[in-house]
Amino acid sequence: MTQPFSGGGWVGDWSPGIGDPTFAGWLTAFAYLGAAALCFRNERRLRAASGDAGPTRTLPPLVYAVFGLWGRLARTPPATRLASLWRGLAVVMLGLGINKQLDLQTALTEIGRIMARSEGWYAGRRKIQVQFIVAVLLVGIWMLGVVFAMSRGFLARLWPVLLGSVFLVCFVAIRASSFHHVDRLLHLELGGLRVNWILELGGICLVAFGAWRAAPALTPAKGTPATYTR
């Protein structure tokens, strides 16, 4: 039986370090950080516009949305609800940017392989991978419902950033499944560019564009109601 943590790295063949030192890898990582900065900027502007200087006020709406407390979410002032949404998106983009070079999903894949070999179900791993992808898609649908509820009334302006963020989370999770056919598709090249570069940078561009597009509609004057053009 294979040892639980065989391989040349900390976890199987994975060790912490720069996972993608190529130009495209660094471009993607900095694109994530740029999108996160735009989302943080919008969150700060909304808090300033509503006269709320406390960032902890943006946490409860996220909790309400995640656990389906729609009544409490509906009673949350729109400025606080939207600030919470921007803060959540900023944290997600920041995490994905850091993960782009740490490549933590590869560690997750290695753990799955090690468990499959040690527990004796490696031969049936394809079924588990398919189930994992289906679970990811269901989580993506749930996330879409969460962000839809938090952006209710403003979807005409916010749809690019919402679509892009949900797409990116699902993309990273499905890539972690290491499903052979998915890997082959992601490594195909179109015009010299890999499909995974196009998909990932496309999702980031949607988020960044949505954050940039929404910024002018914020009312930055302290003590006045924060508004969006719907």
Token pair for 131: 């189930």
Buried b (16+ CB within 10 A) or exposed e, 45-56: bbbbbbebeeee
| Interstrand relation of 193-194 and 189-190 (parallel, antiparallel or unpaired) | antiparallel
Structural domain contains residue 65: yes
Residue 200 maps to a domain: yes
- The tally of domains found in the chain comes to 1
Output the pLDDT for position 224: 44
Residue 13 lies in a domain: no
DSSP bridge pairs for 190: 193
The domain of 205 spans: 23-217
Give domain status of residue 119, yes or no: yes
Q: Is the dihedral of CA 59, 87, 100, 141 positive or negative?
A: positive
Domain assignment present for residue 2? The answer is no
| pLDDT at res. 181 | 56
Predicted local confidence at residue 115, as pLDDT: 79
194 forms beta bridges with 189
- The answer as to whether 3 is a domain residue is no
Segment-wise mean pLDDT, segments of 10 residues, the chain, 230 residues:
51 68 88 94 82 68 86 86 90 89 75 76 73 79 83 84 82 66 61 74 92 72 47
Q: Which two tokens stand for residue 145?
A: 């419902």
112 domain-assigned: yes
**pLDDT at site 208:** 94
Give, rounded to a whole angstrom, the gap between the first and last alpha carbons of the chain.
Answer: 60
- pLDDT of 230 reads 52
Res 13: pLDDT:
67
Q: Tell me how crowded residue 88 is: count the other CB atoms within 10 A of its CB.
A: 22
Q: Are 161 and 82 in contact (CB under 8 A)?
A: no
